[in-house]
Structure 1
Amino acid sequence: MTQTPVSKAPVFGAPPRPASDVSAAVGLAGLAGLMVWVAICRAWPEIGAALNLPGPRERLAGSSAAVLALVFSGTPMVLWSLLVDKVHLRPSTGIDWSAPRPLRAVTDGAMTKLAGLWATWGLIAFVYCLARWYWRGPYVFAMDLLEQAAPLLFLGAIPYVLWLDRVLVEPRDGAWHFGAMLIGREAYDREQVWHHLRAWSVKGFFCAFMISILPGGFGAVVEADWSRLGADPVAWSNAAISAMFMIDVQIAMVGYLLTMKPLDAQIRTANPFLAGWVAALICYPPFVLMGGGGVLDYHQNTAEWTYWLAGHPALLWLWGGIMVVLTGIYAWATVAFGLRFSNLTWRGVVTNGPYAWTRHPAYLSKNLFWWLATLPFLVTTHSLVDAVRNTVILGIVSGVYFWRAKTEERHLLAADPKYRAYHAWMGENGPVTRRLAALENALVGRRRGAGEGVVREGGAGEESGQGDRHPAQ
């Protein structure tokens, strides 16, 4: 029996932290590729002039450049994963490369699987057609891009499925079971069908959203004039924050796209709990409750940090710097996933980077950012009612993210023994987690650490954590 490798613990004298399923270098390789492309796009007028290229001499800040950035960030991550980490050889891929089956032996099963895949994609397209929000604003770009990609996706699935089924240990996955259900010739597993539909619901919902926000963030970073920002703390902070969010979106988008078994990045399971879906979806359009005028809108008569700190340059630099650091932690939490980022799914366990400090660095940093950016207890109307309302509502928003974290932990504790080990380790040794867990236990009258990592057979037991993003997707 092989031993699980371990990684160094951040706390002196602590037992080793469970090893991460994703090496830190994967995300860093993707970040490096992305930065190279951003530099090329910003320098394109000079590059075009030097090479005498046709076309306008302007920066590449359009939607095509934003989409091409996915290639520059995704390709280094794929190459590192395959050539250095050799993830394709892991047993968790479900692949046995040593004994490929003859093509004729997998053809029938592959056709059943393709029927399931094509029907799934047709169902997602039908939902896109019905939902009016997909045909407004930035979502129109996403729909146009997916429409152009659809023929390639449908045709490309044929050689991919035939090739992969030859080496899969068990080729009858969720797509096959869904196809078998539709065709009606063979018995199928209903639970496998539900797993397949949940996984593709995640991809269908979040891919459209992520694609829709790709161009705006990328264009803002490429067009930013950093030479004029040095003397303006507000402009500098906003530009740096935009760059962090662009990195987050680009790396996350690659993760949503490359849910592939040869990369060991497949969706093992999508969250089976309704509470997990509700907690997540109310944070995203069109269901978002925190937007302008929404039930959880905490911006009524607020003026943001720049208004209240105006005229105090030292405070503006300090405050803006803290928010840049928080956004950097948020982006780092996404980069740490490499090819495996995705909401509402289990795709392995990430224990390095910011996940060595807290189980949920993205949720934690995001919520701290909102409190510092909004200062909800300060309002332009000087109304105590507005101040109290905004403060309480932002507290509820933070509570929503705590709820998300708990539902995600419940899913992962039930699904993965390694996550249970990581969860328990963080409760005892995580520099941030153990302090927040102690505070939580003190507030609710629990003994410190009670229930950490304890899971009843067949389901999740008591968990202790805090409201940020879970480390396994």
Structure 2
Amino acid sequence: MDARALDEDVPARRPASDVSAWVGLAGLGGLSTWLAICRNWAAIADAFALPGPHAPMSGPYAAVAAVVFSGVPMVLWSILVDKAHRRSSTGIDWARPRLLASVIDVSLTKLAGLWATWAGIGFAYCLARWYWQGNYLFAMDVLAAVAPVLFVLSIPYVLWLDRVLIEPRDGAWHFGAMLMGREAWDGAEVRAHWRAWAVKGFFTAFMISILPPGFAALVTLDVDTIAGNPVAMATWGTELLFLIDVQIAMVGYLLTMRPLDAQIRSANPHLSAWLAALICYPPFILMGEGGPLDYHHNTADWAFWLQDHPPVLWLWGCLLISLTAIYAWATVAFGLRFSNLTYRGVLTNGPYVLSRHPAYLSKNAFWWLATMPFLATSGSLVDVIRNTAILALVSAVYYWRARTEEKHLLAEDPRYREYHAWMGRNAPLTKGLGVVARAFSPRGRQLQPAE
């Protein structure tokens, strides 16, 4: 196969993204504003003689409020500037709303399916012991508090939305129809519905549980302790960027709404994708302390090994911050659409111009540079080999995740297939990694373009 034949399948231009870069940046602006308010609340309270404690707002509910400050600007930008609610991909026709009487039966069936889904997720929370210990206790408190509100608000929301949906019989309706047994339902739609809600149920609880600690640490941080200290600079710089990642991602998991064109269009149907993703998160995580993929046995970290070389410490710290910035940028670029194991439109801007998987690449590079598993405090060659090999296996897990995600997206959207092909030909990192992959693949060597 010659180069011209390969190039025929590659679009001349990178496909447009389904979400503009400004959506995530609007959320970042809102988050930054709230973080500044919380850090300076003592001075603000003093200036306006406000009641209550005159101290930084570092409590867990301040962290939850940050989700609102992140999400509202993103919603406003999506509607007022990007006009996302007008896109055909929402499945909404605002120009021809139906009469309420014509959709009431559909809506009631859908509400039955939706409420039964929430009840099923709640039952799963009750059964799973890990949701009732540690940071998950706060997540359960939050979800218990908002559940009655969601129950009430779902009624006018579904009734309103069904009037303008082109096809109101979605997965929730099919599940409701299955439960009620009055109309024909599609099993594939029910399975797709439950896959999407399994993603939301699992990751929403996890994300809420990790919001408070990082938020509190940054709100109460004494910035003066960072000055002149490359290790502290890197530590808190990466903490800030991880906070940005978590907060923006939390908004994405919550606002899976059609009027924002942020709905889950499909959840990954492949078991391999779920296995690859879930082993990276508690309680199934394999990389945690004492786990089979724990690569920290008798390791120190970059600060220990480089402590006698201050210029290298500064350089290494800046490199770690840069890698974390790419990781956070990859989440911010999603705007309202971030979530694992789902297809919610095609993203082709931001760091996704450099690589199809910038978050995975930057995260794994960070782990290699921060942990330095090829050095062991025990001086044991066995520890060096073991830790290096296990971290290589961790990186292999993320390669596995990337491949299973691509398998899902390639089957879902021809524009993703165009983006996939364009990146393989034009993106420096993707193109380079593709050359390496083909060099080790018998089939890949057969597809190498002729010289």
Q: Match of 2:24?
A: 27
Q: Does 1:123 align with 2:113?
A: no
Q: Residues 205-237 of structure 1: CA distance to partner in whole angstroms, max 9, x if unpaired?
A: 000000000001111111111122111111111
Distance in 1 separating the partners of 2:443 and 2:315:
37
Counterparts of 1:59-458 in structure 2, within 5 Å, are: 59-447=56-444, 450=447
Distance in 1 separating the partners of 2:256 and 2:344:
9
Greater RCO (Cα-Cα under 8 Å, separation 6 or more):
2
Q: Residues 119-147 of structure 1: CA distance to partner in whole angstroms, max 9, x if unpaired?
A: 00000000000000000100000000000
Distance in 1 separating the partners of 2:448 and 2:266:
24
Distance in 1 separating the partners of 2:228 and 2:447:
51
Q: Residues 153-196 of structure 1: CA distance to partner in whole angstroms, max 9, x if unpaired?
A: 11110000000000000000000000000000000010000000
Distance in 2 separating the partners of 1:79 and 1:450:
47
Structure holding more helix per residue: 2
Q: Match of 2:53?
A: 56
CA contact (8 A) 1:438 1:449 kept: no
The secondary structure found in structure 1 opposite 2:316 is helix
The secondary structure found in structure 2 opposite 1:432 is helix
Distance in 1 separating the partners of 2:78 and 2:446:
36
Distance in 2 separating the partners of 1:449 and 1:29:
47
Q: Match of 1:9?
A: none
Q: Match of 1:458?
A: none
Distance in 2 separating the partners of 1:221 and 1:260:
31
Q: Residues 399-447 of structure 1: CA distance to partner in whole angstroms, max 9, x if unpaired?
A: 0000000000000000110100000000000121001111111122454
| RMSD, aligned α-carbons | 1.2
CA contact (8 A) 2:327 2:358 kept: yes
Distance in 2 separating the partners of 1:142 and 1:73:
19
Distance in 1 separating the partners of 2:268 and 2:445:
28
Q: Residues 321-348 of structure 1: CA distance to partner in whole angstroms, max 9, x if unpaired?
A: 1000000000000000000000000000
CA contact (8 A) 1:438 1:448 kept: no
Opposite residue 13 of structure 2, the aligned amino acid is P
Distance in 2 separating the partners of 1:450 and 1:67:
51
Fraction of identical pairs, as percent: 66
CA contact (8 A) 1:195 1:270 kept: yes
The secondary structure found in structure 1 opposite 2:428 is coil
Call closer, same or farther: CA 1:395–1:164 in 2, change over 3 Å.
Answer: same
Q: TM-score, normalised by structure 1?
A: 0.92
Question: Which of 169-178 and 220-229 deviates more?
Answer: 220-229
Opposite residue 260 of structure 1, the aligned amino acid is M
CA contact (8 A) 1:437 1:449 kept: no
CA contact (8 A) 1:259 1:340 kept: yes
Call closer, same or farther: CA 1:299–1:262 in 2, change over 3 Å.
Answer: same
Q: Match of 2:8?
A: none
Give 5+ residue unaligned stretches, structure 1: 1-13, 453-473
Structure 1: which 4+ aligned runs deviate by more than 2 Å?
Answer: 443-452
Call closer, same or farther: CA 1:384–1:194 in 2, change over 3 Å.
Answer: same
